[in-house]
Structure 1
Protein backbone atom coordinates (compact mmCIF):
# COMPACT_ATOMS: atom_id res chain seq x y z
CA UNK A 1 0.00 0.00 0.00
CA UNK A 2 1.12 3.53 -0.78
CA UNK A 3 0.08 6.13 1.79
CA UNK A 4 -0.11 9.82 1.05
CA UNK A 5 0.39 12.03 4.07
CA UNK A 6 -0.83 15.50 3.21
CA UNK A 7 -0.56 18.48 5.55
CA UNK A 8 -2.42 21.73 5.01
CA UNK A 9 -1.10 24.73 6.93
CA UNK A 10 -3.93 27.12 7.71
CA UNK A 11 -4.25 30.78 8.53
CA UNK A 12 -4.33 31.34 12.30
CA UNK A 13 -7.87 30.87 13.56
CA UNK A 14 -9.09 29.17 10.36
CA UNK A 15 -9.06 25.55 11.57
CA UNK A 16 -12.73 25.34 12.57
CA UNK A 17 -13.95 27.03 9.37
CA UNK A 18 -11.77 24.78 7.22
CA UNK A 19 -12.96 21.61 8.96
CA UNK A 20 -16.61 22.69 8.70
CA UNK A 21 -16.37 23.42 4.95
CA UNK A 22 -14.41 20.23 4.33
CA UNK A 23 -16.87 18.07 6.26
CA UNK A 24 -19.88 19.67 4.55
CA UNK A 25 -18.52 19.64 0.99
CA UNK A 26 -15.02 18.29 0.47
CA UNK A 27 -15.02 15.01 2.37
CA UNK A 28 -17.68 13.31 0.27
CA UNK A 29 -16.09 14.41 -3.01
CA UNK A 30 -12.59 13.39 -2.00
CA UNK A 31 -13.75 10.09 -0.50
CA UNK A 32 -15.68 9.18 -3.66
CA UNK A 33 -12.60 9.79 -5.82
CA UNK A 34 -9.82 8.57 -3.51
CA UNK A 35 -11.66 5.87 -1.58
CA UNK A 36 -9.37 4.94 1.30
CA UNK A 37 -9.23 7.57 4.04
CA UNK A 38 -7.00 6.22 6.80
CA UNK A 39 -7.08 9.27 9.09
CA UNK A 40 -7.93 12.96 9.14
CA UNK A 41 -6.14 14.61 12.04
CA UNK A 42 -5.75 17.95 13.80
CA UNK A 43 -2.90 18.64 16.22
CA UNK A 44 -3.57 19.23 19.89
CA UNK A 45 -0.07 20.64 20.51
CA UNK A 46 2.62 22.37 18.49
CA UNK A 47 1.48 24.13 15.32
CA UNK A 48 -2.27 23.76 15.74
CA UNK A 49 -3.05 25.68 12.54
CA UNK A 50 -2.92 22.63 10.29
CA UNK A 51 -4.67 19.43 9.34
CA UNK A 52 -3.01 16.17 8.40
CA UNK A 53 -4.70 13.46 6.40
CA UNK A 54 -3.61 10.01 5.32
CA UNK A 55 -4.99 8.31 2.21
CA UNK A 56 -4.19 4.79 1.05
CA UNK A 57 -3.62 3.80 -2.57
CA UNK A 58 -2.77 0.46 -4.12
CA UNK A 59 0.03 1.97 -6.21
CA UNK A 60 1.47 5.21 -7.56
CA UNK A 61 -0.58 4.70 -10.73
CA UNK A 62 -3.76 4.22 -8.68
CA UNK A 63 -3.03 7.48 -6.89
CA UNK A 64 -2.40 9.34 -10.16
CA UNK A 65 -5.66 8.08 -11.68
CA UNK A 66 -7.72 8.95 -8.61
CA UNK A 67 -6.15 12.42 -8.37
CA UNK A 68 -7.03 13.05 -12.02
CA UNK A 69 -10.66 12.10 -11.38
CA UNK A 70 -10.88 14.45 -8.39
CA UNK A 71 -9.12 17.31 -10.17
CA UNK A 72 -11.55 17.03 -13.07
CA UNK A 73 -14.62 17.30 -10.85
CA UNK A 74 -16.15 20.80 -11.09
CA UNK A 75 -17.69 20.41 -7.62
CA UNK A 76 -14.18 19.81 -6.20
CA UNK A 77 -12.95 23.01 -7.85
CA UNK A 78 -15.96 24.80 -6.35
CA UNK A 79 -15.02 23.44 -2.91
CA UNK A 80 -11.43 24.64 -3.40
CA UNK A 81 -12.77 28.13 -4.12
CA UNK A 82 -14.50 28.12 -0.74
CA UNK A 83 -11.74 26.58 1.37
CA UNK A 84 -8.54 27.35 -0.52
CA UNK A 85 -8.15 30.87 0.83
CA UNK A 86 -7.80 29.40 4.35
CA UNK A 87 -4.69 27.40 3.36
CA UNK A 88 -1.28 29.08 3.48
CA UNK A 89 0.85 26.09 2.40
CA UNK A 90 0.71 22.36 1.88
CA UNK A 91 3.13 19.48 2.08
CA UNK A 92 2.62 15.97 0.73
CA UNK A 93 4.68 12.81 1.15
CA UNK A 94 4.22 9.34 -0.27
CA UNK A 95 5.00 6.63 2.27
CA UNK A 96 5.21 2.86 2.32
CA UNK A 97 5.17 0.61 5.38
CA UNK A 98 8.26 -1.03 6.78
CA UNK A 99 8.18 -4.85 6.74
CA UNK A 100 7.01 -4.97 10.38
CA UNK A 101 4.45 -2.15 10.12
CA UNK A 102 0.76 -2.95 10.77
CA UNK A 103 0.08 -0.96 7.60
CA UNK A 104 1.88 -2.70 4.73
Structure 2
Protein backbone atom coordinates (compact mmCIF):
# COMPACT_ATOMS: atom_id res chain seq x y z
CA UNK A 1 0.00 0.00 0.00
CA UNK A 2 1.06 3.58 -0.66
CA UNK A 3 -0.51 6.88 0.31
CA UNK A 4 -0.27 9.91 -1.90
CA UNK A 5 0.04 13.15 0.04
CA UNK A 6 -0.79 15.97 -2.35
CA UNK A 7 -0.65 19.68 -1.51
CA UNK A 8 -1.88 22.60 -3.58
CA UNK A 9 -0.88 26.14 -2.67
CA UNK A 10 -3.65 28.43 -3.87
CA UNK A 11 -3.72 32.09 -4.80
CA UNK A 12 -4.79 34.13 -1.76
CA UNK A 13 -8.54 34.70 -1.77
CA UNK A 14 -9.41 31.62 -3.87
CA UNK A 15 -9.68 28.92 -1.17
CA UNK A 16 -13.46 29.02 -0.76
CA UNK A 17 -14.09 29.09 -4.51
CA UNK A 18 -11.64 26.20 -5.02
CA UNK A 19 -13.29 24.07 -2.32
CA UNK A 20 -16.82 24.82 -3.50
CA UNK A 21 -16.03 24.10 -7.15
CA UNK A 22 -14.13 20.91 -6.27
CA UNK A 23 -16.88 19.63 -3.97
CA UNK A 24 -19.73 20.22 -6.42
CA UNK A 25 -17.98 19.36 -9.70
CA UNK A 26 -14.87 17.30 -8.98
CA UNK A 27 -15.17 15.19 -5.87
CA UNK A 28 -17.35 12.46 -7.39
CA UNK A 29 -15.19 12.31 -10.53
CA UNK A 30 -11.97 11.99 -8.55
CA UNK A 31 -13.27 9.43 -6.07
CA UNK A 32 -14.73 7.43 -8.96
CA UNK A 33 -11.32 7.25 -10.62
CA UNK A 34 -8.87 7.22 -7.72
CA UNK A 35 -10.83 5.21 -5.17
CA UNK A 36 -10.21 5.67 -1.47
CA UNK A 37 -9.69 9.22 -0.23
CA UNK A 38 -8.26 9.18 3.30
CA UNK A 39 -8.80 12.89 3.90
CA UNK A 40 -9.08 16.39 2.46
CA UNK A 41 -7.79 19.28 4.53
CA UNK A 42 -7.09 23.01 4.55
CA UNK A 43 -4.22 24.67 6.39
CA UNK A 44 -4.92 26.89 9.40
CA UNK A 45 -1.36 27.80 10.44
CA UNK A 46 2.03 27.65 8.76
CA UNK A 47 1.71 27.61 4.98
CA UNK A 48 -1.69 29.19 4.42
CA UNK A 49 -3.99 28.95 1.40
CA UNK A 50 -3.18 25.25 1.06
CA UNK A 51 -5.36 22.26 0.30
CA UNK A 52 -3.99 18.87 1.30
CA UNK A 53 -5.45 15.52 0.34
CA UNK A 54 -4.49 11.92 1.00
CA UNK A 55 -5.30 8.99 -1.28
CA UNK A 56 -4.74 5.27 -0.67
CA UNK A 57 -3.48 3.00 -3.46
CA UNK A 58 -2.55 -0.67 -3.55
CA UNK A 59 0.75 0.07 -5.33
CA UNK A 60 2.57 2.60 -7.50
CA UNK A 61 1.17 0.84 -10.57
CA UNK A 62 -2.37 1.06 -9.15
CA UNK A 63 -1.86 4.80 -8.65
CA UNK A 64 -0.58 5.25 -12.20
CA UNK A 65 -3.51 3.33 -13.65
CA UNK A 66 -6.07 5.26 -11.61
CA UNK A 67 -4.52 8.65 -12.41
CA UNK A 68 -4.60 7.76 -16.12
CA UNK A 69 -8.29 6.91 -15.74
CA UNK A 70 -8.89 10.28 -14.06
CA UNK A 71 -7.16 12.23 -16.82
CA UNK A 72 -9.06 10.34 -19.53
CA UNK A 73 -12.36 11.71 -18.17
CA UNK A 74 -13.40 14.72 -20.29
CA UNK A 75 -15.31 16.25 -17.36
CA UNK A 76 -12.11 16.22 -15.26
CA UNK A 77 -10.24 18.11 -17.96
CA UNK A 78 -13.04 20.72 -18.06
CA UNK A 79 -12.95 21.07 -14.29
CA UNK A 80 -9.19 21.55 -14.32
CA UNK A 81 -9.59 24.57 -16.61
CA UNK A 82 -11.52 26.14 -13.71
CA UNK A 83 -9.27 24.99 -10.85
CA UNK A 84 -5.79 25.30 -12.40
CA UNK A 85 -5.75 29.12 -12.53
CA UNK A 86 -6.22 29.14 -8.72
CA UNK A 87 -3.19 26.88 -8.08
CA UNK A 88 0.23 28.45 -7.53
CA UNK A 89 2.17 25.31 -6.63
CA UNK A 90 1.61 21.57 -6.38
CA UNK A 91 3.56 18.99 -4.40
CA UNK A 92 3.07 15.27 -4.23
CA UNK A 93 4.67 12.67 -1.98
CA UNK A 94 4.20 8.92 -2.09
CA UNK A 95 4.32 7.46 1.41
CA UNK A 96 4.59 3.90 2.67
CA UNK A 97 3.46 3.10 6.21
CA UNK A 98 5.97 2.13 8.87
CA UNK A 99 5.48 -1.38 10.31
CA UNK A 100 3.75 0.06 13.43
CA UNK A 101 1.54 2.59 11.61
CA UNK A 102 -2.18 2.31 12.41
CA UNK A 103 -2.82 2.89 8.70
CA UNK A 104 -1.61 -0.26 6.93
CA distance in 2, matches of 1:96, 1:103: 10
| TM-score normalised according to structure 1 size | 0.98
Gapped regions of structure 1 (runs ≥ 5):
none
User: CA shift at 1:83, angstroms?
Assistant: 1.0
Quote the residue 1:65 is aligned against.
65
CA distance in 1, matches of 2:61, 2:82: 29
Quote the residue 1:37 is aligned against.
37
Aligned length: 104
User: CA shift at 1:51, angstroms?
Assistant: 0.3
3-state SS, counterpart of residue 52 of structure 1:
strand
CA distance in 2, matches of 1:47, 1:11: 12
Gapped regions of structure 2 (runs ≥ 5):
none
Quote the residue 2:53 is aligned against.
53
Structure 2 residue 5 is the aligned partner of structure 1 residue 13: no
- Which aligned runs of 4 or more in structure 1 are off by greater than 4 angstroms? none
- Listed as ranges, the matches of 1:80-91 within 5 Å are 80-91=80-91
| TM-score normalised according to structure 2 size | 0.98
Quote the residue 1:4 is aligned against.
4
User: CA shift at 1:48, angstroms?
Assistant: 1.9
Quote the residue 1:99 is aligned against.
99
RMSD: 0.6
Quote the residue 1:24 is aligned against.
24
Summarize deviations over 1:37-69 as a string: whole Å, max 9, x none.
Answer: 000000111222110000000001100000000
